[in-house]
Amino acid sequence: MKQWVQNHKLGLIAAVVVLLFAGLLISLLREGDTPSGVNTEKLIQFDGSELAEQRDGKLVWHLTADKILVDPDTGKVYFVKPKGIFIAEDGTELTITADQGIVDRKDKVIEIKAPLDAVTDRGDSLQTDGSVYYNMDTREITGGKVMIKRADSVELSADTFATDAALDKVSLTGHARITKGE
């Protein structure tokens, strides 16, 4: 047996590497298909759907996704690969893309989970390690540790934040820092 293992050592190593790669690939591909931490047995699925809200005839927010799953018991809507557009009162649009998101109509909150990419149509960006939360009543966006980079070279960072969709009215808490670039 030892002799056989020594003669086929390279082949065995290659087989193990291929199996590990296949397992990793399968887990990565499955990860984006369903929301994490959710019992998917009772969910109703829609492919390529969208949700939107208007006030006084104006679009306030618009969400699209590769897949939308609705929990009929809780009323929560789970998004896979969501793209959210949030419109500030001045018309500035903040576009947030991520792997997962949740709309909770009962609590009137949209949660977009990290990792995420958030950019305004003016070139400002928001980076955070955690989820961001959009309050449907106040139109305020909140979250944890943040770095906001504005097109005018101003950078804002803090442990927590609250802002509007234009990233203009920003409240920073904990280790807050504002720097002006060159």
- Tens place of pLDDT for every residue, the chain, 182 residues? 667 656 766 666 766 655 555 554 454 444 445 555 555 667 777 777 788 999 999 999 999 999 999 998 888 999 999 999 999 999 999 999 999 999 998 999 999 999 999 999 999 999 999 999 999 999 999 999 999 999 999 999 999 999 999 999 999 999 999 999 76
Say which residues have a Cβ less than 8 Å from residue 54's Cβ, sequence separation at least 6: 60
60 falls within a domain: yes
pLDDT (0 to 100) of residue 16: 61
Q: Give the CATH number, domain containing residue 57.
A: 2.60.450.10
Rama region for 54: left / alpha / beta (φ>0; ψ in -120 to 50; rest):
beta
**Is residue 72 domain-shared with residue 144, that is, in the same domain?**
yes
| Total domains present in the chain | 2
**Is residue 95 domain-shared with residue 14, that is, in the same domain?**
no
pLDDT (0 to 100) of residue 155: 96
Domain residue limits at 165: 41-180
How far, in whole angstroms, is CA 19 from its chain's centroid? 31
How far, in whole angstroms, is CA 61 from its chain's centroid? 15
**Is residue 61 domain-shared with residue 101, that is, in the same domain?**
yes
Say which residues have a Cβ less than 8 Å from residue 19's Cβ, sequence separation at least 6: none
82 falls within a domain: yes
Q: Which helix (H) or strand (E) holds 20?
A: helix 9-31
pLDDT (0 to 100) of residue 41: 66
**Is residue 18 domain-shared with residue 94, that is, in the same domain?**
no
**Is residue 45 domain-shared with residue 25, that is, in the same domain?**
no
**Is residue 127 domain-shared with residue 95, that is, in the same domain?**
yes
**Is residue 22 domain-shared with residue 50, that is, in the same domain?**
no
CA distance 52 to 161: 25
**Is residue 117 domain-shared with residue 143, that is, in the same domain?**
yes
**Is residue 23 domain-shared with residue 113, that is, in the same domain?**
no
151 falls within a domain: yes
36 falls within a domain: no
121's tokens? 């149509």
pLDDT (0 to 100) of residue 45: 78
**Is residue 6 domain-shared with residue 55, that is, in the same domain?**
no
Strands ordered across the beta sheet of 44-47: 44-47, 67-70, 77-80, 100-104, 109-112, 132-135, 141-143, 160-163, 171-173
124 falls within a domain: yes
**Is residue 45 domain-shared with residue 101, that is, in the same domain?**
yes
